[in-house]
Amino acid sequence: MRNLPRLRETTYARWRSLLSALLTREDVLAATFLEQVESVPGYTANQVSPEELTTTAINSYRHLLLQLLGVPLPDDLQGLAEDLGRRRARQGVPLEDLAAAIRLDFPVLWSALLWLARESDMEVLSAHVDRLWGVVDDYATRARVAYLAERAILARQAADEQHSLLAGLFATNGEQTALVAQTATALQIDADEELWVVAAGAAHLGALAAAIDDLPNDGTGGNGVRGRARGGSFTRFDGDGVLYVFGVESPSGRGVLDALSVACGLNRHVAGLAELPASAREAAVIDGLIPDGDHTPRTIQELWPRQVARTLGAAFPAFLAESTAGIDLLPEDERRRITDTVRVFLTTGSVQDTAERTFCHRNTVKNRLGQFTRLTGLDLRVPVEAAAAVIALEVLPLRERRHVTCL
């Protein structure tokens, strides 16, 4: 086997001669690159102008060839790889496409060297090919590091902008059309898209934040804003001690919502960003109605009796107290059997279905419903009194989370 270091030393002069010849053909190298880069998706979406692409290609080949020659770089080529990485990040070119474009530099240079070389130069090329690859790889690595750093800066800036716009949207209750449009642009959604929103106050905020952090996500920003691109998914916004999370009513957006198994108030089918502040605050009210031990997003359709009971209890405390006075006097086990049966009946509207769900005889169900009527004065067969019963039951101690039985 021949001594590679010795071979490199003896062929170095010819290697430099070939590289110097390429320095006079920068425009040809750039033209070859431009033909090949058309196959890279990120460079065919008009994200980079042809003029800028041509200038960058010429400068990149000058940079690479001068490095291979060991010549100090002029000022205009200093930090070229880093500038390229930062620029492509700002232009939105995907990282994998940037890497694919830079990797083209090796075959472009190698093909040009083969075209210039004589048959006797094959040994020269084989002795120095690893140096060519190393210089291109170093250039790609420096561009990649700068790209990722710039993307992190852009993400923080976007998060700051989103947080500021959302704070303004909530402060103005979505009444400023221009602000709504600006916020939609920052979030990459349509202002009129149908949304869902959940909210969690102090009792549930930590659990919701942890659940959101566990969800897969394309990017994270500061100031409590986190979200993904359009069709995606969700954005979190921390304001006034409440964590709000909202997303588009799309299959992927609903997928995020379906993945949440924590207590929080939920509003569905919000009619666009202008309605978001009011709907989000409603969700916060709903969150405050959720019973202890519940670990599911809840809607007002599920918890309206609690809200009505609170409102009535605050304004007319005697009204509900009179309805539940007789029930309150019963021993706890008997009270639970009666109220649990009544709750099931108020859900089904059927003695037979209630009997099946509680594993009781029909006559037992009828007896418990009769006892409830005697104790409260509320006849469950009368709709308006049944509605009053639904509300009155909310002021009684919460029933245990278990199947109602006939015991």
Distance set, CA 300 to CA 266, 320, 399 (Å): 8, 21, 20
Q: Are the CB atoms for 126 and 190 separated by under 8 Å?
A: no
Nearby residues of 353 by Cβ (< 8 Å), 6 or more positions away: none
Query: What is the distance between the alpha carbons of residues 316 and 339, in angstroms, rounded to a whole number?
Result: 22
Query: What is the distance between the alpha carbons of residues 152 and 85, in angstroms, rounded to a whole number?
Result: 12
Tell me phi and psi for residue 233, to 5 degrees.
175, -85
Of 59, 103, 66, 107, whose CA–CA distance to 83 is shortest?
A: 59
Query: What is the distance between the alpha carbons of residues 242 and 233, in angstroms, rounded to a whole number?
Result: 20
Q: Are the CB atoms for 380 and 341 separated by under 8 Å?
A: no
The secondary structure of the chain, three-state, reads CCCHHHHHHHHHHHHHHHHHHHHCCHHHHHHHHHHHHCCCHHHCCCCCCHHHHHHHHHHHHHHHHHHHHCCCCCHHHCCHHHHHHHHHHHHCCCHHHHHHHHHCHHHHHHHHHHHHCCHHHHHHHHHHHHHHHHHHHHHHHHHHHHHHHHHHHHHHHHHHHHHHHHHHHHHCCCCCHHHHHHHHHHHCCCCCCEEEEEEECHHHHHHHHHHHHHCCCCCECCCCCEECCCCCCCEEEEECCEEEEEEECCHHHHHHHHHCCCCEEEEEEEECHHHHHHHHHHHHHHHCCCCCCCCCEECHHHHHHHHHHHHHHHHCHHHHHHHHHHHHCCCHHHHHHHHHHHHHHHHHCCHHHHHHHHCCCHHHHHHHHHHHHHHHCCCCCCHHHHHHHHHHHCCCCCCCCCCCCCC
Query: What is the distance between the alpha carbons of residues 286 and 299, in angstroms, rounded to a whole number?
Result: 7
- The pTM of this model reads 0.64
Q: Are the CB atoms for 266 and 289 separated by under 8 Å?
A: no
Query: Domain 4-152, what fold?
Result: Globin-like (1.10.490)
Residue-range domain boundaries for the chain: 4-152, 188-298, 306-393
pLDDT tens track of the chain, all 407 residues? Answer: 467 888 888 999 999 999 999 999 999 999 999 999 988 888 876 778 889 999 999 999 999 999 999 999 999 999 999 999 999 999 989 999 999 999 999 999 999 999 999 989 999 999 999 999 999 999 999 999 999 999 999 988 888 888 899 999 999 999 999 999 999 999 889 999 999 999 999 999 999 989 888 876 544 333 344 444 333 467 888 777 899 999 888 776 667 777 888 999 999 999 999 999 999 999 999 999 998 888 899 999 999 999 998 888 888 888 777 878 888 888 988 999 999 999 999 999 999 999 999 999 999 999 999 999 999 899 999 999 999 899 888 877 543 334 445 65
